[in-house]
Chains A and B, each alone.
Chain A
């Protein structure tokens, strides 16, 4: 078990490094190949040669790519120093550098934005898993009922609706027209739980709507298959009550494929988070990412990418660990 964990963690680190290096190449090398000078983008109204050189030095753009990359990676566990001579700023660990645009430490921005995205993603994931599985189970047990049919309707609509359109409609109705909810677009850790819930409830629903129904269909299909299996029949024959059959036996086997799919969907969850944050204008990682990309703010882009890939990698790890819990046949190692 421990060996497995270590191996997986190693894989996560390698994976994240690959993602980071790719990001680095995309943002440093591509513009260079296209003959663009990054420093010019940050020079503003005056961009004499002297100013440009100053900016290049300040942003560390004059070093070779690999040096810049190594510096960046080193900064995460150990912190790093910026500038030279008598003009040094120390950036403590975990150092992700300073934003090219606002010059704020990237880590500070991420620290503020992360809880919003995390709360949104986790909430939505819970809603879509629980909602999806619950509806799926009911659909399977009450096959052909109105429940069953409505679930199917919502399923296809859900995956066919662009999330930003759903979001705009939801906001149009519940925020602008009815005025039931208020979206706090400067959500921070100082706000009360009530504010968080009020702000995030629509994003949760919208994001969960995208996929929950698909999970319901998947659950329903798997459940029906499982209910036909021999061991369920055996359990029933032994006199185990129906709720126990469902909970102990059927649901457990059903969860394995659901989890597999869920592991694959984490990327969608992140993509959905970016879109949802843009639509609802929430101060999360997604919004920071879009702004950073528009502004070519490399350290911010790297920071956000790092965070998102880490999140995806770790969530996948958790999913894998959960297999073992749910399905006793799975052996880790």
Chain B
């Protein structure tokens, strides 16, 4: 499920003076590059919801990085089977609400008795890792091809644009599952769950770059006719110099915004793949995989579905809020 980043926050009802201010700012940024960051940061600071989203994002990163520490403090090893926590006949968690207790903060899994809290924490790792790395792949590819297409135009542009169109009109999810399921298990000399993570990153990134590519291409198209590019060209700057020294710095803002907005999409995609059984291989914990397991028993043990579901929801929401805020701060008129 690769959702394009809709520009839906174009707030037209902003008071007119602000808009004027924005134009003033964008003029200012040509004079001095630094001030943009400061202004953006000031704006972002005002936006409490975006900040809250940002804080949640930071928290998630911390949780992912320090997962082993957190789990040793508050949980159990993620693959440890606490079979004594399960009912005899049904194999459902003992006690109410999926076996929530001081010892098992989010309860335990049916059948295996594994600690849900620990698996959620370790699941965050996988989600973040895959989403961020896949976004990185998409950004690198998208920027590279977008900038080349936009700058050189002509047949180069035609080919790249066509490839992007084709990729965008593929039944993407179907293709991603298909690719993941046939890519050899010993890809790139990695082994175990590492292979799957690498596969996921590559495949999700591969299908994500056209979104960035289009935006970068569009921006480059409008930028390359600007005076300073002309100036650089007349001073004898090579294409490479112009592309990466002159154009790229001016593309940083939109790229940052769309990267932030791409991560939640990737999180959803990773979860969807795990849910369909094409994600990270069990027993490695992943949120989508937990939901897949929950699908067969959620009628009897709804809490097992609620935690991973909420984890995905809150993470994606936080990234979306932060991304929206960032866009408003960096790019008040939106791009589309």
Contact residues of A with B, CB < 8 Å? Answer: 15, 18-19, 22-23, 26-27, 30-31, 33-34, 36, 143, 155-157, 159-165, 168-169, 172, 176, 211, 214, 217-218, 221, 224-225, 228, 257, 261, 264-268, 270-272, 274-275, 278-279, 289-290, 293-294, 296, 301, 304-305, 308-309, 312-313, 316
Contact = CB atoms under 8 A, between A and B. Distances in A.
A160 B291 contact: no
B95 to A, nearest CB: 20
Contacts of B302: 172
B182 A15 contact: no
B309 A271 contact: no
A308 B173 CA distance: 11
A246 B275 CA distance: 44
9 contacts: A22-B175, A23-B175, A162-B272, A165-B309, A168-B294, A214-B6, A261-B6, A265-B3, A312-B171
B309 A275 contact: no
Contacts of A228: 12
Contact of A267 (B2, B272, B277, B299): B2
Nearest to B310: A165
A230 B294 CA distance: 55
Contacts of A265: 3-4
Interface stretch (B81-89, B132-140, B313-321): B313-321
Contacts of A308: 171, 174
Contacts of B184: 30, 33-34, 36
Contacts, number: 166
Contacts of B309: 162, 165, 168-169
Nearest to A136: B8
Minimum-distance CB pairs A-B, first 6: A271-B173, A34-B184, A165-B309, A308-B171, A217-B8, A160-B317
Nearest to B174: A289
Nearest to A313: B169
A293 B181 contact: yes
Interface string B223-254: 00000000000000000000000000000000
Given A305-B171, A308-B171, A162 B305 contact: no
B312 interface: yes
B171 A268 contact: no
A264 B214 CA distance: 12
Contact of B166 (A18, A224, A293): A18
B203 to A, nearest CB: 11
B305 to A, nearest CB: 6
A30 B183 contact: yes
A268 B264 CA distance: 15
Decide if the interface of chain A is mainly helix, strand, loop or mixed: helix
Interface in B288-336: 288, 291, 294-295, 298-299, 302, 305, 309, 312-313, 316-317, 320-321, 336
Given A169-B309, A218-B8, A271-B173, A160 B320 contact: yes
A78 B200 CA distance: 39
A261 B6 CA distance: 8
B256 interface: no
Nearest to A260: B336
Given A162-B291, A217-B9, A275-B272, A267 B171 contact: yes
Given A19-B170, A169-B309, A305-B174, 7 more contacts: A30-B183, A159-B316, A161-B312, A165-B313, A278-B275, A308-B174, A316-B169
Given A26-B182, A268-B3, A162 B271 contact: yes
Nearest to B317: A160
A290 B313 contact: no
Contacts of A36: 184
Nearest to B12: A224
B291 A165 contact: yes
A97 B169 CA distance: 25
A23 B183 CA distance: 13
Contacts of B298: 168, 172
A22 B316 CA distance: 32
Nearest to B177: A293
A156 B321 contact: yes
A55 to B, nearest CB: 19
B299 A176 contact: yes
A162 B299 contact: no
B97 interface: no
A158 to B, nearest CB: 10
A242 to B, nearest CB: 19
B168 interface: yes
Contact of A271 (B172, B178, B271, B295): B172
Contacts of A176: 299
A176 B321 CA distance: 33
A94 B240 CA distance: 51
Nearest to B170: A19
B1 interface: yes
